[in-house]
Each structure stands twice: as C-alpha cells, then as structure tokens.
Chains A and B, each alone.
Chain A
Amino acid sequence: MHMARFKKTTKITISYIFLAIIGILMVYPLLWMISASFKTNNEIFSSIGLLPKEIMWNGYADGWRGSGQYSFSLYFSNTFMLVVPTVVFTVISSLLVAYGFARFRFRGKKVLFALVIASLMLPNEVVIIPRYMVFNSLGWLNTYLPFIIPAAFATYSFFIFMLVQYVRSIPRELDESARIDGCNSFRILYEIILPLTKPAIISVIIFQFVWRWNDFLNALIYISSVRKYPVSLALRMSLDVTDTISWNQTMAMSVLSMLPPVLLFFMAQKYFVEGISTTGLKG
C-alpha cells in the first residue's frame, strides 16, 4: 500500500519535471526576447543567457519614441483602427453567411458553398496582384478600407466554414420550438443561435485579431504612408544592414506589440470556457 503510493508520487514527480523542462524550452525564446530588450547589441549576439551583464534601461522609452516623425503611440492606435473594425465586421458578416448556409435551403446552395470553400484553398500570393489592382481602381490604397470592407462582406471563408460547422451542431429542434413560439429567422439567429455560438465566435475574434495584428505582407502592400503604418510595419522600419540597429529597442517594442493579443486571449479565455459549459445541453 505504502509502496504503491510512493510509486505513484515518484511517477507524478518525474512527469512534472519532464513537463516543466519542456515548458521552459518552449517559453525560452519568449523569455530571451524580454531579457534581450535590456541587453546591449553586443551581448544579444554573443550570448544566449537570460540575465543581462549590463542592463540597458532605455529600450522601452527610446523605442516608444521611434526613429523618425512618429512614435509608437500612433502606430498602436493605427493598428487598433485597422484591426478592431475588421474583427467586428468579420464576426457579423461571417455569422450571417454561416447561418444562411447551415439553416436554409435555397437554389445553388451547394455551388455557392463550394465557391466559398474554393476561395479558402486559394493561396494569398495568387490573388495579391489582382486584388491590389481592384483596390487601386477603387481608390482605397493607403487607407484601411482594403482590410475593413472585405471583412464586412464575409470574405474570410475560413471563419464561415468554422461557424457553419458549429451552427450545424446546434439541434434544429431549438429553432423549431422558437419558431412555434413565434420567432422569425432573424430573431432565431439573435435569441437562439448567437448565444449558443459564443465559443465559436470568441475563437473567430481571437484568430482574426491575432492574424490581422501580426499581418505584415498586406499592410506592407496597401499602406505606404508612414503616418498610417501599423505596428507590424513600424517594427521593421529600423532594421537595415547599413546602420547600427538598436536591437534592445526593437525587442522592447516587439514585447509590447505582443501584449494586446495575449491580453485578449486571456480575457476571452474566461468567456470561452463559460461558452462551452452553457452549450452542455447539446448532448
């Protein structure tokens, strides 16, 4: 009896140690980045240790001030102006479209759904030039419209697909009973489907927020004024081989730019779990 318990404890201890080592390995680059924001250039490239030999305190303040005309306050607010409407519109439009595909029968549904999925398979590189031409002729270049307007028309097919699958898993009986109670289609969406889809919507928000936040290529192509740069472009602005790069400042700003997505994730996690538990009636 005693032996068995001892065995169990050692087993648990060993697995915890093992997990801890793996965990440290996984977060090491992240910790290194934070510590690098306090290191000198020379140390950043010549050692992989975490504790700086000589602490540089200026990384955050100087980095925030930026290199040229604008500070990171502007770049951060630009990013929010780009990302927040995009996320909001994505959620609204994708849910509407997904609801349509999941709950209604109409002519050409299969073909249309196949088209949505087909656009999911299309690599971004293929459409980037034609899209640029279209946005150019609409006069949308150097604005955030190329990000926001397509989001309002449900062009992010991945999210449609995800929500369709989710809505399909909600029992139709709930819709039917609501219909008997006198709800029309929109009311069903609002009163029945929306609350039950909350976990999926939260995932859409998290995914879309993080992807748009980190998006470099589209921002690079559509935004040309430095005044309108989002953080992802601003971070790269000072990296050039012909000059001394203050790596600690770049690292410091990278740490800060990671914060909003991370915070969002932890804040949403609570609702995420809550959402899952309220959908318990599914089974």
Chain B
Amino acid sequence: MKQHRIFSILAVSLLVLVISMPAIFAAGGKEAQPAADKPIALRFSWWGADTRHQATLEAIELYQQRNPNITIEGEYGAFSNFYQKLLTQLAGRTAPDIITVDYKWVSDLMNQGAPFVNMNTLTGAIDQSGFDLTFANIYGGKDDYLIGLPVGLNGMGYLYNTRFLEKYGVKSSDEWTWETVIEMGKKVQAADKTKYLMYNNAEHWVYLIKTMLKQINGNTLLLDNYELGFSRNEMLQIFAYIDTMVKTGTVPPFNEGVLYETVYADQNPNWLNENFGIFPTSSSLIPGIAKASNFTVASMRYPVAKNAKDPGILVTPSMFLTVYKQSPNKEAAAEFINFFLNDEEAIRILKDTRGIPTNSKAKNILVADNVIPQVVSDMVSQALTGVGAAENGPSLNPEVIALTKDFVQQVGYAKMTPAQATDAYMRELSALAKTIQ
C-alpha cells in the first residue's frame, strides 16, 4: 500500500517536471541584460502576397543593418485567416509587437478593450506630421484614442476594359450618375445579348447599397445608436434600382454570376474573356487585375447621383500599423514604425506595396519617382473628389453585411419584389441591430 503511494507521488512529480520543463528553460533564457544596446527581438505581422512580402523583408533587412542590436521577425501570410489568428493571439496575450490591422476590424477591436497603444501618445517617437490625422481618426479613432497609423489609401471606382467600352460605344466619364449606368447597360445589351456592361461581386453590392444610401440621405445603414439609417421609401428606391440593373441586363443574371461572386475580376473568366466591361473595385486590387487582363484597363469615378446629399464614395485606409499594448519593447516598436513610414530609403523600398501612402511625405517621393501605376493613382484621385462620410462600427458589422448580401440575392433572383425585400430587410435588420448592440 505504502509502496503504491510512493509510486503515485513519484509518477505525478515526474509528470509535473516534464510538463514544466519548457517553462523552466524559457524562464532561464530571459536573463536581464544591461540597458544600453541590449539585443531586442521584435515581431511584426502583416498580410499580403509576394511583392509585399519581399519589399517588407528588404526594409526590415535595412533596419537591422542600421540597428545591429535589433532583430525583427516577420510573421506574414495571406489575408484570409489573418484576423482569426490575431484574435487567438490577443486572447492568449501572444500577439506580435507590431501588428497590421484592417480598418474593418477597428470597432470590433475597440470593443474588446483596445489592445493597442494609443498612437496619440507616441507622437514623440513617430513623426506623424505627414499624416492626415482627421482621416486617421475617422477610421481608427475614438475620443482621444487612435489605434494606429494608416499606411495606405484605398478608393472605390469603376475599373473598365477600354477596348470593351469603345466597341459598344460606351463613353467613360467622371460624371456618371446611376441613370447613366442603366442607359449604358441597355446600349451594350442592344448590341449583343450575351454581353453585359458590368459585374458586381457579392461584396460590391453591399458597397453599392451603402453608397447610394449616403447619396440619398447622408446616412450609414445603421446609425451610431443602432437605429436604421433609412426610411422605407429610401431603401425601396435602392432595391428597385438593383432590380432594374438585373432586368435591363446591365449586370448578368444572378445565376450566371454566382460562381464568381466571392472573387475579383482577375479570377473571373467573364472579365478575362471580355463578356463584361466594368468591374467596380477598390484601388488596391487594380495591380492584380491589370496584370491578369490581356487588355488595357482604366478607371473612372464611381457614379454619383445628381443632387447627392453626400457623394458617398468610399475612401478608406488600406491598413493600420499598431503597437501591441502587452509588448515588452513598445519604444523599439514605435521607432521601427517611424522608420517604416517616414524613412526615405524605406519608402523607396516599400513603394506602393501597401497602397498609395497616406503619409504625404512618402507619397511625394513616390510621385516624384514615378512608381505609382497611373490607373491606381487615377482611381484614388477620382475617389478623393467625392469622399463619402465614414462608415461606422454598426454598419461594418459582419452580420449586418451578411444580411444585406442575402437581400440583394432575394431581389437579384427575383424571389422577392423590391417592396417585399424592403419590408423584410427592415424587419430583420432592426432585430439584428438589437442583438449586436
């Protein structure tokens, strides 16, 4: 009996030892070093693809050469799943020191206790003079708190196939209204029944609704107090417009487009094979689409209604650079951000891999060097002529967006008339607003 007990105690203590071993070793490694020039390891996470990865790694390399005591480890990957991973890391308090954050996550993250250092407290470490801080605050701020610094600028516009528009006698201009879109849509259909003026993917239909709404009454879908931002008549007008787009053949029938509703034009065979000529997109996607296309692309301003209350065109920061609150090396992280956004050499290395820089200093350098693709800068400057009011947290809520997509489908597939869809949408959106409040 006694032997038995001794054995159990031994077994348990052995188990404890094995399990805690890595912790012991980890603790042993963290011995305090003298303050000056002690080696610092920073972690920096971002999403992107090859061009961005390579440019960023090159900039990091340069920084490490200049600061031999600092090593920066990049944690990079694709955009999809980036947010899930970030949330897990935040929950486990293991997030990197420097984190890239999308503007769509900002209000969500703020509600979770704002796990990033207030940028307004880092003015000493980071030169923010080149940044439009009003713009930064609209998307990344709340009261006196700013989540990070916006790196690039994104604008919404119509990307078009020049050859296609010419062939069907569609004249591009920066003065299009929603009526022009339908008129041109009919023109293309009259010439060839199998061709369509444009294609909106699922994501874009939501932008269309939001933009039209801002043009009608200046509101977002849900107001800050979670009330509906529209009357029945106003939403009916929008759903009726979507219905008209489908019925006139301005956009392809929904059952034809469904396969490609989650991808962009570079993966849409109907764009590549020139079955439609306009793809509404945000400027950051242009380089990929342009490279995939066998024809010249150009950009025109997003449609704005005649007496628009707010031109409503979506202009957003492409991403924020933030410093993690739990980071042991906040100052070093801030210094690196300063280098990343303001250093001339770094700017020349990074170019426009994160969109057109919001930092005017960086933008001027790149414009002088002539490295920003013409059509990207066109779309951004066209969008800047009609910047809409910023989106708010409630309207960016993923459930709200999913619900809106559903109702676009109801109208698009003619399962509901615009009037039915409006009533049902208002009912369900109000109910949803109560649960997410």
Chain A interface residues (CB < 8 Å from chain B): 41-42, 45-47, 67-69, 128-129, 132-133, 136-141, 143, 145, 220-221, 224-227, 233, 236-246
Contacts and interface: CB of A to CB of B under 8 A. Distances in A.
A41 B292 contact: yes
Contacts of A132: 88, 91-92
A243 B50 contact: yes
Interface in B42-81: 43, 45, 47-54, 57, 73-81
Interface string B88-128: 11011110100000000000000000000000000000000
Nearest to B92: A136
A238 B49 contact: yes
A5 B273 CA distance: 52
Contact of A241 (B20, B88, B94, B285): B285
Contacts of B96: 224
Contacts of B23: 137-139
B290 to A, nearest CB: 9
30 contacts: A41-B291, A42-B292, A45-B268, A46-B269, A67-B50, A67-B53, A68-B50, A69-B57, A69-B74, A128-B88, A133-B92, A139-B26, A141-B94, A220-B84, A221-B85, A224-B89, A224-B94, A225-B73, A226-B74, A237-B77, A238-B49, A238-B50, A240-B47, A241-B264, A242-B288, A243-B50, A244-B51, A244-B287, A244-B288, A245-B50
Interface in B328-351: none
Contacts of B436: none
A106 B91 CA distance: 41
Nearest to B267: A45
Contacts of A226: 73-77
The 9 closest A-B pairs by CB, nearest first: A243-B49, A240-B49, A67-B50, A244-B291, A139-B26, A136-B92, A46-B272, A68-B53, A239-B78
B22 A140 contact: yes
Contacts of B284: 242
A141 B22 CA distance: 11
Contact of B43 (A220, A224, A238, A244): A224
B19 interface: yes
A69 B81 CA distance: 21
Contact-residue size bin, chain B (C-beta under 8 Å from the other chain): 35 or more
Nearest to A133: B92
B88 A45 contact: no
A237 B50 CA distance: 8
A68 B272 contact: no
Contacts of A239: 49, 78, 80
A137 B273 CA distance: 54
B78 A42 contact: no
A41 B269 CA distance: 11
Interface of B: 19-20, 22-23, 25-26, 43, 45, 47-54, 57, 73-81, 84-85, 88-89, 91-94, 96, 264, 266-269, 272-273, 284-285, 287-288, 291-294, 355
A242 B49 CA distance: 7
A141 B288 contact: no
A241 B23 CA distance: 40
Nearest to B272: A46
A128 to B, nearest CB: 8
B57 A244 contact: no
Contacts of B57: 68-69
Contact of B52 (A128, A225, A242): A242
B78 A236 contact: yes
A267 B77 CA distance: 34
Given A236-B78, A240-B47, A243-B48, A129 B88 contact: yes
Contact of B79 (A42, A129, A138, A241): A241
A59 to B, nearest CB: 14
Given A45-B292, A68-B57, A244-B287, A145 B78 contact: no
A244 B292 contact: yes
Contacts of A233: 77
B22 A138 contact: yes
A136 B77 CA distance: 22
A224 B51 contact: no
Nearest to A237: B77
A243 B94 contact: no
Contacts of B52: 240, 242-243
Contacts of B269: 45-47
A140 B50 CA distance: 29
A243 to B, nearest CB: 3
A143 to B, nearest CB: 8
A75 to B, nearest CB: 12
B54 A67 contact: yes
Given A133-B91, A225-B73, 13 more contacts: A41-B292, A42-B292, A132-B88, A139-B22, A220-B84, A221-B84, A224-B43, A224-B45, A238-B50, A240-B79, A241-B264, A243-B48, A246-B50
